[in-house]
Amino acid sequence: MPVPPGLEAMRVDAGLARLLGLSRTAVSQLTEEGSVLVDGVAVGKSDRLSAGTWLEVELPEPPRPLTIEAEPVEGMEILYADDDVVAVDKPVGVAAHASVGWTGPTVIGGLAAAGFRISTSGAHERQGIVHRLDVGTSGVMVVATSERAYTILKRAFKQRTIDKRYHALVQGHPDPSSGTIDAPIGRHRSNDWKFTVTADGKPSVTHYDTIEAFQSASLLDIHLETGRTHQIRVHFAALRHPCCGDLTYGADPRLAERLGLERQWLHARSLGFAHPADGRWVEIASKYPKDLEDALEVLRSS
Of 194, 192, 183, 168, nearest in space to 226 by CA: 183
Cα–Cα distance measured from residue 88 to residue 255, given in angstroms and rounded to the nearest whole number: 30
Determine phi and psi for 265, rounding to 5 degrees: -80, 90
**Per the residue annotation, which of 134, 200, 252, 291 is the catalytic one?**
134
Reduced to 3 states (helix: H, G, I; strand: E, B; else coil), residue 28 is: helix
Cα–Cα distance measured from residue 17 to residue 7, given in angstroms and rounded to the nearest whole number: 11
Measured in whole angstroms, how far is the alpha carbon of residue 33 from the centre of its chain?
28
Q: 174-213 as b/e, with b when 16 or more CB fall inside 10 Å?
A: beeeeeebebbbbeeeeeeebbbbbeebeebbbebebeee
Strand 266-274 relative to strand 138-144: parallel, antiparallel, unpaired?
A: parallel
Running DSSP on this structure, what letter comes out for residue 94? Answer: -
Q: Please, are residues 222 and 193 in contact by the beta-carbon 8 Å criterion? A: no
Is 134 an annotated catalytic residue? yes
Q: For residue 223, count CB atoms less than 10 angstroms from its CB and return exposed for 0-12, middle for 13-18, buried for 19 or more.
A: middle
Q: Please, are residues 174 and 220 in contact by the beta-carbon 8 Å criterion? A: yes
Q: Which residue type is seen at 68?
A: I
State the catalytic residues.
Answer: 134
